[in-house]
Structure 1
Amino acid sequence: MKKILKLLVLVLVVALLYFGFTTYPKLDLISGFSAKSVASGHFLDNRPLELIEKGDNDIPLLNLATNKIDETGKFATSAVYGLKERKAIYREGLGATLINDDFDISKPYDIPKRTKLENNLSFPYGNNEPKDTVFANIDYTKLKNAVASAFDKTGGKLKRTRAVVVLYKDKLITEKYDTGFTKDSKILGWSMTKSITSSAFGVLAKQGKIDIYKPAPIAEWKNDDRKIITINDLLHMNSGLEWEEDYSTICDATKMLFLAEDMGRVQMDKPAQFKPDTHWNYSSGTTNLLSKILRSQFKTHQEYIDFWYSAVIDKIGMNSMVVEQDMTGNFVGSSYGWATPRDWSKFGLLYLHKGNWKGEQILDESWVKYTATPTNTSDGKYGAQFWLNAGGKFPDVPRDMFYCSGYQGQMVAIIPSLDMVIVRMGLKEDPAFDFNGFLKGIIDSVKK
């Protein structure tokens, strides 16, 4: 009996040591990710906790969290085995923000001033229902089958597509939603938000208010090697700054998103590893630094938060979109943009038409060309906060395709040669989800 007890104690000690070395350091990140996901999904999109836990939070380790929603206080809390409880608060107009114990929830805050597109036009140039349009050169049976093949059968979890929207020649030719989601569902774009951030710079450049080829306006860099880094280098993910982005572990990106108060400062404080324009390195920290730089271009915080919406988002009728903020009030331009799939498709349409929105040139054509031109160290896969197919990542898709891309397989694909925009939202990314086959199936439904 004593031997059995000793063995049980030994097993318990080993288990505790294993937990301590492998999981405990991650608890802040697990509970932080979970609390933020629950608060955003519930208060922005009215998702019940059960759907969030079985869908959004159905990720290894994240399912260890126990979550609670406070409807009255409008916040969510999460903890792992009762440890490391984290809290995310919801504020109307701002979405959810993951906070720490030092955050003053009673402090007044600015809310973006929004304008709703009311032009009595049908989607996509307005918010009325789309008009039925039939194109003689589209095989609608093939199109329907291609889109349907992106979705799981009831209860399946292989493809995990939540929404598909396809625009062709400015018309909605098909859309489909998974159970529990509709055309009005707001879905997190994750890193597709980076392309929104880039667009804000594009408007400032068009207005002549910023020169992206000048050194970034960061006082802390003026006396070291980083002083030569330009906004152009940052937009291209080509700054040479140290950064690690690996969502399967504790890294710069996860610590930034789930621990940092000022997300833009995390990348700003990193040392230079290489000379600018010599090493491409994908970095969400870089985009949040760009958001911080954008803030410095405005006299007041209110002007900064209004600009994102007035210059781009509301300008094209993406009225469902909410870009969430960090604890300092800066937009998390790397990751936290929520919108309906239809509204994400409007953003693709803006770029399909070279920055023109129904006659108004919101972005210069040269800016759209700039965003879709490969940076010289990315092997043809990245431009300025947009991904590219110039290097042939998707072999059966035209090389001129450029796209917004986000964690777990969010995509807004822009294909100029086909006059087409394809949106896919889901929970599986390439290669687990066959994007090449998915895109090819839709493209093949259009007769040349």
Structure 2
Amino acid sequence: MSSGLARIALASYRLAGITLYPLSSPYLAYRAMKGKEDSSRRLERLGYASLARPRGPLVWVHAASVGETMAVMPLIRELRRREIHILLTTGTMTSAALVQARLGDEVMHQYVPLDVKFPIKRFIAYWKPDACITAESEIWPTTVVELARRRIPQIRVNARISDRSFTRWSNHNNIAETLFEKLALVVAQSDLDAERFRDLGAWPVIVSGNLKTDTDPPPCDEVTLARYRKEIGARKTWAAISTFDGEEKAASAVHRALKPKNGQLTIIVPRHPDRADEVEEMLKGEGLNVARRSRNDEITAAVDVFLGDTIGEMGLYLRLTEIAFVGKSLTNEGGQNPLEPAMLGSAVLTGPNIQNFRDSYHHLVRKGGARVVKDIEMLAKAVHYLMINDLARRKMVDAGHEAMEEMRGALGKTVKALEPYINPLTVSARLQPKTVAAAVR
């Protein structure tokens, strides 16, 4: 595709957004009815602010969902230490709840506006960010173009690009170059990610490692943890976390195969808790007794599966086991983050489809902290082996900790790369009077 056709394609995307804009409100209302939007804050998605813009330097940080939000928290705290105001946008209600629970008043949270001309222009005109830092693999064309028009630096941190996304962008290389060249800086997770961003037109690109290695382990309520540990008692446990459709059935098959040998408790944590009803129905259909966290069910000796169907409690579920299978890797593709179970002392198991977390798994597998299983039978054998072999399990747990220590340091490298952009803002922030501007409507 020529550069002229690329400009036409981007103009057509922009025009389509403008044409469909009158349908935005009904669309958001429908999503709110389905529980996918916060009905009280729908206007934020149209670029209308619900908070006052403070005086002084402000950095817009965008993290699409929970994983990205967790990754940028240490960076946000570093920026706040420098007295720079942070506007944090996310795209899901789950991530918004996480921001409130973990960051509270440290940041101003808004839902990210739709990638349409009018909401984006309204959003940028009101907040006037001095820089935009994005922790996401997606590129939103209208947002990129509008920020570039105002010469607001766009920086991508913890950046990665999946095999599928790279192939898609490579097939439209002129469009990719038109957009990626507008990024002021890319801080990539790995050498492969960096090479891909450069191939698509981004410059400069540096490698930092994964910011998630520098995050704190997910917390949990100690009273709740003590209660469940008491209820579980001496039973062996294993967990299947961040599971997608088909993987809960695989976990059920593993449980039924191992129950006569081990009498274990299986913990299943679906990636999307709104699937819990269908997961429970499937498990009961397999003849299993289920306790659900959302119902505050007791884990009695008769319970086969503890279904973790709540948001923000992964720290609880992982502290109840030392064996964790990480989903979206056996019956789905891409994988999910293995770093949290490694941090919290679990031997990590995964299916073979881990393209999105290739670098993290490479380190864990190389050190011996993770193992790849190709099918349900192999998963069952691995879980059984780790349950009955304390020494092997502890060696994997210790190896996971060692791998995590080796991977740390991404935060320092990221902050160093950002210094040309944030140091002037730090000076300006410290010269600002500590007052807040009135909201502009």
TM-score by length of 1: 0.26
Higher helix share goes to which structure? Answer: 2
TM-score by length of 2: 0.26
